[in-house]
Structure 1
Amino acid sequence: MSQRGLEALLRPKSIAVIGASEKPERAGFLMMRNLLDGGFNGPILPVTPIHKAVSGVLAYANIASLPITPDLAILCTHDRRNLTLLEDLGTRGCKAVIILSAATEQFPELKACAQRHHMRLLGPNSLGLLAPWQGLNASFSPVPIKKGRLAFISQSAAVANTILDWAQQREVGFSYFIALGDSLDIDVDDLLDFLARDGKTSAIMLYIEHISDARRFLSASRSASRNKPILVVKSGRSQRAQQLLNGQQGLDAAYDAAIQRAGLLRVQDTHELFSAVETLSHMHPLRGERLLIVSNGAAPAAMALDELISRNGKLATLSDSTQSALSAALPPFVSLRNPIDLRDDASAERYLAALKPLLDSTDYDALLLIHSPSAAAPGSKTAELLISAIRQHPRGKRITLLTNWCGEYSSQDARRLFTEAGIPTYRTPEGAITAFMHMVEYRRNQKQLKETPALPVGLTANTAHVHQLIRQALAEGTTQLDTHEVQPILEAYGLSMLPTWIASDSVEAVHIAEQLGYPVAIKLRSPDIAHKSEVQGVMLYLRTAMEVQRAADDILDRVKRTYPQARIDGLLVQSMANRAGAQELRIAVEQDAIFGPLIMLGEGGIEWHHETQAAVALPPLNMALARYLIIQAVKGGKIRNRGSLQALDIPGLSRLLVLVSNLILDCPEISRLDIHPVLASGSEFTLLDVSMQLAPVTGDPQARLAIRPYPHELEQTVVLKDGSACLFRPILPEDEPLLKLFIDQVTKEDLYYRYFSEINEFSHDDLANMTQIDYDREMAFVLCAKLRQGRKSLVLHALSPILTI
């Protein structure tokens, strides 16, 4: 994404305050005061025709009279002057502007002016920004903030002010604190790209209300989250809340899917937001998921354990050597099982005796210390002893430590000591576990995204035939296809459908049933009735000619009485599928206003609400991503094993989902697809009823997708000097094993000249970063040839340099 002008905004060398004032109630006064108090080490240039000096700084009558061209300008005047001032700043060569307020009707002209002069805009209606490492407080906030490693980006001024106030009391520091306002130009994705490369930022927190460009957001988020944890608070879960925020309405489950796909972690509420800020500010990165709990009471330890189990956390198991060391240090009545209960009479010295052998242990990945108010172990004294021991121990800086000093009055000083020592501290056991699980879930998300997908078997499709069928349907004015019409399209993608025949009346239905063999099913065929259940338009298990004739006549009669204006295109006749022991599923594709096509998976046999009864994923899917969608549906209760005699074949269903994903990618005219039900019986998946909606495509067909798919158009067959044909193509995630094989054959000298350092071995993460690329912002090519021994390809050519666009 474009980084033009962001250096001038976030690391300015000079700042002009347009509309600086000596009147305390004016924005220009507040901005000058905050810039001067913040300690900005560069020229601050107040511009005002009224005063000769503002806050003791020489003022200038207009922009033209400035002695230097400022990197950053802040508009603090009445919004009616915005356009004129912006034009003057552009003419002068200013690179970035913060607009504190502007009317909505000004937005198009402001944006056009900024683009014409190659300026970047923050806002309008932005609170401003703070960059403590630069001594920069270009905001309305009078609250000074400490230097830290956490960057915070907010689309809400109210939330930003709340976090600032809370952070001051908790002494939480920030690298950047940015309030976006209306994001006329600079948006979240621009800032994520900048912060991903910023050496002062180690973690990022986002508060978002809407996403204006899904593809840019996902691209920037995925790139940044590979190196730095990013937590997201997204408000507006309900449609009414979205209306209140004046945001474009999108499915909340789609936001969940997008956030997870990008490798971010979503927190649910303000309480979790504060815990997350504490965690990101102080906690060391996790190397695993095993948690060890030490407490001076069974009850708080039990509360922590309950929360850990409810969130699918993992409890550490202590080795014999660690238990022996603890046994020698602690009284015999202290249980050495995790959680370790030091008892309510535990002194500060007993805490210290337990901590010392644990600092030498590698049996856990994170340690939670819980302390309940106790006369035997005053909170502050215990905290001081533990902090001192941690600082003096060689592994103290590498231990992932969390603390929960319960209570309020007697624990305030202890929590302050932990905060000053850079150790995360929480008020409740559940809050500490929630914070720990945030980092665990983030780690799991990253691990899942980097898993090497399996090569799917037999994913062939006759796309030319499908495109012809779709073009023909649209040319005839047909936009709604039923099971019979969809059948050749799906079969061209290798999807197994139950044969379907069309009958014009009951007589023909009987004739078809006789040919198919009983039992059969009969279904209404009408483009005007979306839900056949409204007219009892589906009749199953018809075993005789008389039953077929009666059922067909009854369906047609009910439609004529209930919907006399509805068009009837006959009846669909199918052999009755064997449902005994089979599981009914539903797969659908819907269009989201923000993220484009969504693939949904849920349980069949019910009229579902996809907002709550379906697991959601963004295309494109590979086998690994399809598998995660299935696991998410099962764990979330969207698919229940009701009456099924065989376990769900996850690889088989994954393959089916990948085929659906490929169909949607190849055919942008498909705006909606509903496969219901899908009968899953062991490794067999039969599609019984399908509807498809078509719409002509205008513009770039790829623009509708939130994630750019594999660019097939870049593939090219090349002939080598020996006459052998090879495929030159972009790299795929599935190429990781072949890439490793290729690198293993390269000499160390070649690797050194390729990467300018000595590399003994490439880890899975290294290879995943090379193969799982974002085709929107980088590209790597491989040259592949078939081996004589089999069909597998061998990577023959080194990766091209990855280019950031």
Structure 2
Amino acid sequence: MSVRNLDQLFAPRSVAVIGASLRPHSVGATVLRNVLAAGFKGPVYPVNPKYDTLCGLRTWPGVEALPEAPGLAIICTPAATVPAIVRQLGAAGTRAAIILSAGLGAGTDAHGRTFKQAALDAARPYVLRLLGPNCVGLLVPGIGLNASFAHTGAIPGRIAFVSQSGGMVTAVLDWARSRGIGFSKFISLGESADVDFGDVLDFLASDADTGAILMYMEDVRHARKFMSAARAAARSKPVLVLKAGRMPEGARAAASHTGALAGADDVYDAAIRRAGMLRVLTTEDMFAAVETLAHARTRGGERLAIMTNGGGPGVMAADALGAAGGTLPALSAATLASLDAVLPPTWSRANPVDIIGDAPVQRYCDTLSVLLNDPGNDAVLFIHAPTAIVPSADIARAVAPLAKAASRSVLACWLGGDGVLEARRIFAAEGIPAYATPEEAVSAFMQVAQYRRNQDLLMQVPATVAVHVAEGRAVAAQVVRAVLASGRSILTEPEAKQVLGAYGIPVVQTRTAADPGAAAEAATAIGYPVAVKILSPDITHKSDVGGVALDLDTAEAVRAAATRMQRRLGQLMPGARLEGFTVQSMARRPQAHELIVGVATDPVFGPVILFGQGGVAVEVMADHAVGLPPLNAVLARDMISRTRVARLLAGYRNRPAADIDAIVRVLVQVSQLVADIPELVELDINPLLADSEGVIALDARIRVELADQTASTLDRLAIRPYPAELEEQVVWNGETLTLRPIRPEDGPAHLAFFAALTPDDVRYRMFVRVRELQPSQLARFTQIDYDREMAFIATRALPGGGEQTLGVARVVADPDNIQAEFAVTVRSDLKGHGLGRVLMEKLIAYCRTRGTREIVGEALPQNARVIKLVRKLGFEVTPNPAEDSVHLSLRLD
């Protein structure tokens, strides 16, 4: 369930307070008072059999006695009474209720169900949506609705706030009201038995009254639903997350380094980043970020020019920028010359630009103009400390028009108190974000930079990566099945390398030997020098028991090393099973970096991929980044860039840069492995050696478990990957075409396809005349969420390589998969040959398979071809004169 009937929750026609009371400090009394005090315009029905009237209103003894079904019911009664009340409300016609009552998960009814489950069961037949239980309620200030027991109300605004914590609800309400911050919606989720983050994000994404969404999050329960909703919402408005629980609770018990390193907070951070949202660390940062993002210009980047009338504040800002990972760009020769012309000889001649404390108004304006014309920065930080030379307000009045008209972001720091209050007010009135300290201003700038990076990842149209996989996929699956059939969960090192090799990941040649003598024979066959490692299902990290010997160059050395390992294992772990030894060729890569690539399985978000600095001290170094599969080249490069080892990989002194493309390929191949093999729960490639010649895996560890045979292979992924199984070849008009889902890599071909459409065909498709697709539009068309939308394209192979897009049929389902809206477009020079029908039949079959109930669409009356096509496919065609359009619908159920 998702957005169905949520309009009744946020815009009810009437409100019933069930359990209303006069008892001081009771929830029922507080809620009734809040509903009446906020100025709600619709009828309010107190419900309590103990009273005839409450607060001057007639009071009703029960739900069945009400004169109408309330649009919204607020339930304040004991836990045991809630399921029956929910059932009565549903039968009466109510479609939204808030359960403020606590304790529904503790008690059980006569059937052994918790009261929470009983309430859900009672609501389900009526699609009655439940907010809570154990929540504070919700506020919609724009319609005067305060359906909560919060101690204060909210003022109207454009921000929606969603919280899992009732304490955060009341604290933020109080904090925001004291600062004049208003809200469009203020929502306490409580235990989220029904309405959860995914539902609310889906609703708020298309809410015209909401300009930004803020969330206080403690956990997520339905990862796929949450990620789909979050990515959709983040495409349309800023979404900021204050995630609690940042500190690790200790390393989890795991069979791999990755399992221990990929903590829950790392995974949430990766999910927030992947969804295009911004994570903040404090409540104040959250609201400051909203203010900054609301006025940020389109430039991204991390290069900040700083101008100040005092050296100290400029140094403080530069220090904060460096600590946050930003860039303090050097001033170009042209910029230095321009500043020399307007500044006194004693100016700093560097960034930060110190314009000296005696600066008159014109010096501020001239300096800011020069910096805004410098292509070497992405934003300008204006810092001013009050002086007796010129009133701060005069400077603000002169500078504000320049800052407001700038093509890049200008941030201000007015240092001081009463002396700069008027200056701050002037900037605020012009929509220029201002901060009290240089550190706050730099933090805000870096938030914008991070937000832009996250948005770029969300909207990216990445290039194609050549991934050598497919042929060995069956081999890898067979290895895993054989291991599970033998009762094991840990693959031997040779088995793990066989799986990696099947996916095109370079591995060193490795053989298995039963005893020291066989190890010597294997080493001779491979060629010296070699490494010998102990082979035991009971040993997680071989080096911990002296189970690794390197650079052995004779058969005698191999035999002796294996014998020592055998003896040492018997002394240190007499109960451990010894299955033999692995012998592998030594990889002579003296300038290689030791990296780790791994997979862990998070209980909420499923498989996650880790990249970082490897080696035996990997957990101590803790230099890693986590990402959610599926990965492509852009996402893989972003993961690499977020680690400290990335700087080493770029090369230094006489050490050449590592082959980053090869590392990217490994990450993408591991992502594909995760999607293909549902039994895989943990994986370590450690170390993965990387240098200018490429990469090679020296050691590998894989843990597997039996997969749920009733679930789809891809259900465990938080983001549904590209559905290759939907690809097919068709014969059309005498040639073979490929019908397949659209991919992000189709961006250039989609631009060419759009360019081949006539202006009328574009208008028929988009209802307006559009000359060219903007980058954000192109990304929305080609980078889709396969879990809730689909676009099938028809392509032909080009003689010189590549593909040409000939047509596209697109469908976007509502979050409940009840109704899906379609559109179909064929290249203008190919119309009339049946390609539209081929695409639509593919689309209809797909929707039937997905269980969609109805396909709908809108067409202009002049679009005769599409109207004729859908009639033949069984669509109902209904004129809609009020909208100058034609409504198209096909029932599938």
Task: Tell whether the structures are fold-level matches, with TM greater than 0.5.
Answer: yes
Q: Check 1:328–1:544 CA distance in 2 against 1; reply closer, same or farther (3 A cut).
A: closer
Cα distance in 1 for residues equivalent to 2:78 and 2:21: 12
Is residue 404–residue 432 contact of structure 2 (8 Å, CA) maintained in 1?
Answer: no
**1:445 alignment partner, one of 451, 454, 469:** 454
Aligned to 1:101: 101
| Aligned pairs (5 A) from 1:334-413 | 339=352, 341=354, 343-345=356-358, 366=379, 368-377=381-390, 381-382=393-394, 385=397, 390=401, 400-408=409-417, 410-411=419-420
**Alignment RMSD:** 3.3
In the alignment, does 2:40 pair up with 1:31?
no
Cα offset, 1:142, TM superposition: 3.7
Cα distance in 2 for residues equivalent to 1:357 and 1:472: 70
Cα distance in 1 for residues equivalent to 2:536 and 2:654: 32
Is residue 140–residue 184 contact of structure 2 (8 Å, CA) maintained in 1?
Answer: yes
Q: Check 1:669–1:240 CA distance in 2 against 1; reply closer, same or farther (3 A cut).
A: closer
| Aligned pairs (5 A) from 1:244-263 | 251-263=264-276
| Aligned pairs (5 A) from 1:569-648 | 569-609=579-619, 612-634=622-644, 645-648=655-658
Q: Letter of the aligned partner of 1:616 in structure 2?
A: V
Cα offset, 1:7, TM superposition: 0.4
**2:562 alignment partner, one of 547, 552, 568:** 552
**1:771 alignment partner, one of 748, 766, 782:** 782
Q: Check 1:153–1:305 CA distance in 2 against 1; reply closer, same or farther (3 A cut).
A: same
Aligned to 1:246: none
In the alignment, does 2:128 pair up with 1:140?
no
Cα offset, 1:200, TM superposition: 1.5
Q: Letter of the aligned partner of 1:301 in structure 2?
A: G
Cα distance in 2 for residues equivalent to 1:796 and 1:456: 23
Cα offset, 1:650, TM superposition: 1.0
Q: In structure 1, the residue corresponding to 2:808 is in which secondary structure?
A: coil
Q: In structure 2, the residue corresponding to 1:124 is in which secondary structure?
A: coil
Cα distance in 2 for residues equivalent to 1:358 and 1:40: 53
Aligned to 1:517: 527
Q: Check 1:365–1:56 CA distance in 2 against 1; reply closer, same or farther (3 A cut).
A: farther
Aligned to 2:480: 470
Q: Check 1:576–1:753 CA distance in 2 against 1; reply closer, same or farther (3 A cut).
A: same
Structure 1 segments unaligned to the other structure (5+ residues): 244-248
Q: Check 1:556–1:16 CA distance in 2 against 1; reply closer, same or farther (3 A cut).
A: same
Higher mean C-alpha deviation, range 463-472 or range 404-413: 404-413
Q: In structure 1, the residue corresponding to 2:94 is in which secondary structure?
A: coil
Q: Check 1:337–1:71 CA distance in 2 against 1; reply closer, same or farther (3 A cut).
A: farther
Higher mean C-alpha deviation, range 673-682 or range 774-783: 673-682
Q: Letter of the aligned partner of 2:92 in structure 1?
A: R
Q: Letter of the aligned partner of 2:271 in structure 1?
A: A
Q: Letter of the aligned partner of 2:87 in structure 1?
A: E
Q: Check 1:590–1:801 CA distance in 2 against 1; reply closer, same or farther (3 A cut).
A: closer
Cα distance in 1 for residues equivalent to 2:600 and 2:499: 18
Cα offset, 1:93, TM superposition: 1.4
Summarize deviations over 1:627-652 as a string: whole Å, max 9, x none. Answer: 11111224677979799943111111
Q: Letter of the aligned partner of 1:625 in structure 2?
A: L
Is residue 482–residue 525 contact of structure 1 (8 Å, CA) maintained in 2?
Answer: yes
Summarize deviations over 1:717-772 as a string: whole Å, max 9, x none. Answer: 211131x2222111111111111122222222211211111111112221111111
| Identity between Structure 1 and Structure 2 (%) | 42
Cα offset, 1:77, TM superposition: 2.5
**1:494 alignment partner, one of 504, 507, 515:** 504
| Aligned pairs (5 A) from 1:64-463 | 64-103=64-103, 104-105=105-106, 106-240=115-249, 251-279=264-292, 283-289=295-301, 291=304, 293-313=306-326, 339=352, 341=354, 343-345=356-358, 366=379, 368-377=381-390, 381-382=393-394, 385=397, 390=401, 400-408=409-417, 410-411=419-420, 415=424, 423-462=432-471, 463=473
Is residue 633–residue 639 contact of structure 1 (8 Å, CA) maintained in 2?
Answer: no
Is residue 463–residue 745 contact of structure 2 (8 Å, CA) maintained in 1?
Answer: yes
Cα offset, 1:181, TM superposition: 1.1
Summarize deviations over 1:10-69 as a string: whole Å, max 9, x none. Answer: 111211111222334222222222222222221122222233332223322221222221
Cα distance in 2 for residues equivalent to 1:583 and 1:111: 55
Summarize deviations over 1:417-444 as a string: whole Å, max 9, x none. Answer: 6556655332212112211221221112
Aligned to 1:42: 42
Q: In structure 2, the residue corresponding to 1:539 is in which secondary structure?
A: strand
Is residue 582–residue 646 contact of structure 1 (8 Å, CA) maintained in 2?
Answer: no
Is residue 251–residue 611 contact of structure 1 (8 Å, CA) maintained in 2?
Answer: no
Summarize deviations over 1:187-227 as a string: whole Å, max 9, x none. Answer: 11111111111112111111101111111111111111112
Cα offset, 1:178, TM superposition: 1.2
Normalising to structure 2: TM-score of the pair? 0.82
Is residue 513–residue 520 contact of structure 1 (8 Å, CA) maintained in 2?
Answer: yes
**1:662 alignment partner, one of 669, 672, 675:** 672
Q: Letter of the aligned partner of 1:541 in structure 2?
A: D
Is residue 189–residue 216 contact of structure 1 (8 Å, CA) maintained in 2?
Answer: yes
Higher mean C-alpha deviation, range 16-25 or range 349-358: 349-358
Normalising to structure 1: TM-score of the pair? 0.90
Cα offset, 1:285, TM superposition: 4.8
Is residue 320–residue 439 contact of structure 2 (8 Å, CA) maintained in 1?
Answer: yes
Cα distance in 2 for residues equivalent to 1:331 and 1:415: 27
Cα offset, 1:123, TM superposition: 1.1
Higher mean C-alpha deviation, range 629-638 or range 695-704: 629-638
Cα distance in 1 for residues equivalent to 2:277 and 2:503: 33
Summarize deviations over 1:678-736 as a string: whole Å, max 9, x none. Answer: 222323322222222221111313221111111122122211131x2222111111111
Higher mean C-alpha deviation, range 660-669 or range 314-323: 314-323
In the alignment, does 2:746 pair up with 1:738?
no
Summarize deviations over 1:374-396 as a string: whole Å, max 9, x none. Answer: 444555x4588469x64xx8956
Cα offset, 1:409, TM superposition: 5.2
Q: Check 1:580–1:346 CA distance in 2 against 1; reply closer, same or farther (3 A cut).
A: closer
Cα distance in 1 for residues equivalent to 2:88 and 2:576: 64
Is residue 494–residue 510 contact of structure 2 (8 Å, CA) maintained in 1?
Answer: yes
Q: Letter of the aligned partner of 1:49 in structure 2?
A: P
In the alignment, does 2:19 pair up with 1:19?
yes
Q: In structure 2, the residue corresponding to 1:735 is in which secondary structure?
A: helix
Cα offset, 1:495, TM superposition: 2.1
Is residue 286–residue 440 contact of structure 1 (8 Å, CA) maintained in 2?
Answer: no
Q: Check 1:378–1:59 CA distance in 2 against 1; reply closer, same or farther (3 A cut).
A: farther
